[in-house]
Amino acid sequence: MSGHSKWATIRRKKEKTDAARGKIFTKLIKEITTASKLGGSNEDANPRLKVAIQKGKDSNMPLDTINRARLKGAGELPGIIYEDLVYEGYGPGGVAIILESMTDNKVRTVAEVRFAFNKYGGNMGESGSVAWMFHKKGMIVIDSEGVNEDPLDEDKVMEDALEAGAEDMISEDGKFIIYTEYKDYLSICDILEAKYTFESNELTMVADNDIKVPSNKVEQLLKLIDALEDLDDIDDVYSNADIDEADMDTE
């Protein structure tokens, strides 16, 4: 896994989405609905639903809205049914891109995705063309300054994370970033949350290998990622881009 450039991308994405709360709610409602449809409305038996509901709570989504989305997905209330789809492609510099989507009209969604790829120098790929490069992981971020600016001991956090069953931990940009297997994510969160305050925690896609993006391709790639993230039907955009933070700052 690459260093600070990955965290810079995550941080940039968070800042961007924080400015669009209404859109976040729309995406979270779709995620809760789909998770409930696929795995049932009992969040204790459905890890994906539990994560989606927690994200809704963290975003101050009203509990009534969360429950309606959960019940609609389980078929206990009428409503639009969303389809869970994955799109794949390549961006400028040969970067692999994978998109997670929930849509009620896949013809519309695929047309919008293809247009974005073509406009910003990418190519939409066939199913399976890049998915093999990525794996679903849990990601927990802890501020190294701890609570009340009481710095945390990196070796201790690493020890606790590994004992809890985490795969790996990296320290960068003042953060401890802990990666877990998908199946172990919730149990590890429960263990570590009793000891540390999380800055964030989520399910993500992690690439096996990153591609260094040439400086002259960074701006075009970031425009493509922005365009894909802005599509209403796209929930998450992942890539194996390794971007120098200095190149991002010049965007």
| pLDDT tens string 218-227 | 999 999 999 9
CATH numeric code, 134-207: 3.30.70.980
User: What is the distance between the alpha carbons of residues 120 and 116, in angstroms, rounded to a whole number?
Assistant: 6
Is CATH 1.10.260.30 the classification given to domain 83-133+209-240?
no
- The per-residue b/e assignment along 50-87, b for 16 or more CB within 10 angstroms, e otherwise, is bbbbbbbeeeebeeeebbbbbbbbbeeeeeeebebbeb
Q: pLDDT at position 200, please?
A: 84
The fraction of the chain above a pLDDT of 70, given in percent, is 88
Domain ranges of the chain: 4-73, 83-133+209-240, 134-207
Residue in 155, 85, 93, 94 with CA at minimum distance from that of residue 113: 85
Q: Is the pLDDT of residue 118 over 90?
A: yes
Lowest average pLDDT, out of 39-48, 114-123, 190-199, goes to 39-48
pLDDT digit string, tens, across residues 11-67: 555 555 454 556 778 888 888 988 888 888 888 888 888 888 988 898 888 999 999
pLDDT value at residue 1: 39
Assign domain 4-73 to a CATH class: mainly alpha
User: Is 70 exceeded by the pLDDT of residue 3?
Assistant: no
Q: Which pLDDT score, from 0 to 100, does residue 51 have?
A: 87
Greater confidence (9 vs 116) lies with 116
Domains 4-73 and 134-207 share a fold: no
pLDDT tops 90 at residue 246? no
Categorize the per-residue pLDDT at 168 as very low, low, confident or very high, splitting at 50, 70 and 90: very high
Categorize the per-residue pLDDT at 2 as very low, low, confident or very high, splitting at 50, 70 and 90.
very low
Which among 35, 215, 221, 3 has a CA at the least distance from the CA of 116?
A: 221
Q: What whole-number distance in Å separates Cα of residue 64 and Cα of residue 70? A: 10
> Where would I find the H helices in 63-194?
63-73, 106-119, 154-164, 185-193
Given this model, what pLDDT does residue 201 score? 84
Is the confidence at residue 169, as pLDDT, over 50?
Answer: yes
pTM of the model: 0.74
pLDDT score of 82 more than 90 = no
The rounded distance, in Å, linking the Cα atoms of 133 and 71 is 35
Dig out the tokens for 75 from the structure: 């078929």
Question: What's the confidence (pLDDT) of residue 156?
Answer: 95
pLDDT at residue 174 above 80?
yes
Rounded CA separation 219/214 (Å): 10
Query: Of 149 and 212, which is predicted with more confidence?
Result: 212
Sheet with strand 234-239: strands edge to edge: 123-124, 83-91, 95-103, 234-239
Cβ atoms of 235 and 102 within 8 Å: the answer is yes
Residue 251's pLDDT is what? 47
What percent of the chain has pLDDT above 90? 47
Place of tokens 């049932």: 40
In this prediction, residue 103 carries a pLDDT of 85
Q: What are phi and psi of 176, to 5 degrees?
A: -105, 120
Q: What is the mean pLDDT of the chain?
A: 85
Residue 215 is encoded by which pair of tokens?
A: 């400086």
Give me the helices (H) in the chain, please. 4-18, 21-39, 47-58, 63-73, 106-119, 154-164, 185-193, 215-229, 245-249
